[in-house]
Structure 1
């Protein structure tokens, strides 16, 4: 068996296949981003003031995806990345049919539950696989490439599906687009993608064997070093999922700061997903116009990560995370304070760039303090909290909007939360 080599250049063909996979995953979620909220009333019978019901599909998506993220890393360490990837695509197969034949909003919620499974398993595996194959000092670049591919696809799918809805109607347009993308993703995952777990095990051999689970001299490290079966790397023993979850979610100061930032930044994306299409339509924009503005957000987010991902490798994680959180918070507040299409477009780009600063950097920062043997598990814990932010944010926005009988209050909720979360990272995150 040939010796495995790490690095982007040495594994370029397979990394390109993985980038295509995450592009297809991005197309799958992107088809729901503008069309479903924008047509909730006309196609699925939601009245204009049923704000809480409108948010339910993202609440379910976030909860399901969060759980899938938590277990995806563990499953991939036990059963391999490729099997988990294929399972995620199989889970997505019913989605276009549910949207095509949906008699009520409950079917849309069920479809987005399956979408959460697909996203939690497939997006996680594309990133884990690329991290497996590349050098440890390429984490920021790899995260940037991964998120660029995925969110460029989200932007493209939003615009394309809005156009297909104009031509074929909402249900048929989503069905044609979704079926094509999902089947292609599954076929390529089965036939082309390689299992990359061996590359991850090769990383373990390059790492000193008896380091604590996450950390470098932290006060809480003793909790995972207190017995021979806890907190060991590179050997037979390893922490359980419960131990890793508790450690990353509460005991480790750096991981706690990163996890809360991941959770809160999803408030911004939930706002863009649920609230902005409806809010723009209420400002007398067409669905295609709304999709185009929202597409700018996703496109800037995706493309800018080609810069911000490598920049975090060179200049450190903390400045980009904190700056990105604050830039998003300011951009969200400006949206509700302005009334011009051009300003909304500029502000959407501003928020997208803020997300590009923080998004790949958060994942890379978690990987920085994660030993290779447990990296997938700890990234899974981070992704659990990050995507649980969809559920927390959507639920909070839905309840607040229902209480206020208007959408403007949700912008203030998200903007202030982003500013405060960035301040937490600025004060608590100590590892560069």
Structure 2
């Protein structure tokens, strides 16, 4: 057993493929489901339509938190398989559900499935590659996932324009579920041993490191507010996904209201996650060269500019929608792998999976926060103002990271320590008897 991307490239590649299927399940909904609410079920309230995103975000966030604990207590592989099993009914509910409540139920199951399966692909890649290539690992993982989100959003848009909103666009999800489950059961190997190896190496580096493993309550507090760096990362993740949750519900309705067709909406919805996904092939390794903080700060600023372009581009909706989505994708590509890598840097391997789960809890609460914010703002001020508010929040989040976050990456970084100064980059594990 060895740490490193080269040493574990076969398993790493399989996990990239599995995460593409995981991401594709989310892509099923990006173009079609909001239009199903307005056109098929005749729903006129933005809050009711966005309820499926709120349900997805809250459930996925809570499941992320639980998945970190399960990953530390059970095996990563078992949790991954469980995620796929929970997701089996989702495409059937989306394609044939007779009422809007069935769509919400599908999103509850999808949130559980995503929280378990996507969290495990993240943790398993972190386990395999070790500390030196975390940025690259997270870039490839998220590139596969969000690239599949965008491609699937585009495919469902084309299928819906040719065959209707339901059930044909959701046939793809049946394939994703079957393929992901088969690969996870028969080809994926568990990686908890790699995390234990890294922890053992770290213990040799720092003889004073406590062997006690903290409980979830301690990890939650450390990741959420006590550690300024982890707090900065967690709030940036929340605002980043607030943007995604807002765009998920608002963009199809906003662009449909100004005359953009389903195919055009499909392109707008596809460009954002495709650029976001593929861009991480570049920004992931870049985070291992220039550090995490610059990518996070400037990524949030680029997203804020994307909101400005979309919010003030009503005269040319298709052009500004595509341009703004490209900017949102670039900014998110800069932020996403750097955030995950920063959490992985700052958390000790013995509680890293739990810390990643807490970060992903706050990050994916952003889906619910974005949908809720968009529904409230759209009800009083209109859909365009939901875009403006999201842009302002994103700008403020970037400033907060700039002021509060400490850079977690160092060119001499090795197993959680700065070799030159021997200063630990993570908070020491607490003594549980204290």
Give the structure-2-normalised TM-score. 0.91
Tell me which residue corresponds to 1:400.
377
Tell me which residue corresponds to 1:256.
231
Pairwise CA distance, 1:91: 0.6
| Residues in 2 aligned to 1:76 and 1:17: alpha-carbon distance in whole angstroms | 19
Tell me which residue corresponds to 1:418.
394
| Residues in 2 aligned to 1:127 and 1:324: alpha-carbon distance in whole angstroms | 21
Deviations 1:350-403 (A, max 9, x none): 110000011111111111101111110100110000001111121111112112
Tell me which residue corresponds to 2:117.
122
Q: Which runs of 4+ in 1 moved over 4 A?
A: 209-212
Pairwise CA distance, 1:209: 6.5
Pairwise CA distance, 1:175: 3.5
1:285 aligns with 2:256: no
- Say which SS state the counterpart of residue 150 (structure 1) adopts: helix
Pairwise CA distance, 1:294: 1.9
Alpha-carbon spacing, 1:262–1:211, altered in 2? closer, same or farther (3 Å) = farther
| Residues in 2 aligned to 1:364 and 1:234: alpha-carbon distance in whole angstroms | 23
Tell me which residue corresponds to 2:129.
134
Pairwise CA distance, 1:343: 3.0
1:68 aligns with 2:43: no
Tell me which residue corresponds to 1:308.
283
Tell me which residue corresponds to 1:327.
302
Q: Does structure 2 retain, via aligned residues, the 8 Å contact 1:234–1:373?
A: no
1:241 aligns with 2:236: no
Q: Does structure 1 retain, via aligned residues, the 8 Å contact 2:43–2:49?
A: yes
1:17-416 equivalence runs, <5 A: 17-47=14-44, 50-208=45-203, 235=211, 237-338=212-313, 339-340=315-316, 341-404=318-381, 406-416=382-392
Q: Does structure 2 retain, via aligned residues, the 8 Å contact 1:64–1:113?
A: yes
Tell me which residue corresponds to 2:12.
15
| Residues in 1 aligned to 2:168 and 2:299: alpha-carbon distance in whole angstroms | 35
Q: Does structure 2 retain, via aligned residues, the 8 Å contact 1:91–1:114?
A: yes
Pairwise CA distance, 1:174: 3.4
| Residues in 2 aligned to 1:387 and 1:211: alpha-carbon distance in whole angstroms | 34
Alpha-carbon spacing, 1:314–1:98, altered in 2? closer, same or farther (3 Å) = same
Q: Which runs of 5+ in 1 are unaligned?
A: 213-231
Q: Does structure 2 retain, via aligned residues, the 8 Å contact 1:38–1:287?
A: no
| Residues in 1 aligned to 2:9 and 2:93: alpha-carbon distance in whole angstroms | 37
Q: Does structure 2 retain, via aligned residues, the 8 Å contact 1:6–1:133?
A: yes
| Residues in 2 aligned to 1:210 and 1:307: alpha-carbon distance in whole angstroms | 31
Pairwise CA distance, 1:413: 0.9
| Residues in 2 aligned to 1:301 and 1:6: alpha-carbon distance in whole angstroms | 28
Pairwise CA distance, 1:331: 0.8
Give the structure-1-normalised TM-score. 0.91
Q: How many residues align?
A: 406
Tell me which residue corresponds to 1:220.
none
Deviations 1:242-296 (A, max 9, x none): 1110121121111111111111111111122111111111110111111112211
Alpha-carbon spacing, 1:343–1:168, altered in 2? closer, same or farther (3 Å) = closer
Q: Does structure 1 retain, via aligned residues, the 8 Å contact 2:301–2:394?
A: yes
| Residues in 2 aligned to 1:192 and 1:44: alpha-carbon distance in whole angstroms | 41
| Residues in 2 aligned to 1:279 and 1:367: alpha-carbon distance in whole angstroms | 38
Deviations 1:299-341 (A, max 9, x none): 1111111111111111011111000011101111210111322
Alpha-carbon spacing, 1:257–1:197, altered in 2? closer, same or farther (3 Å) = same
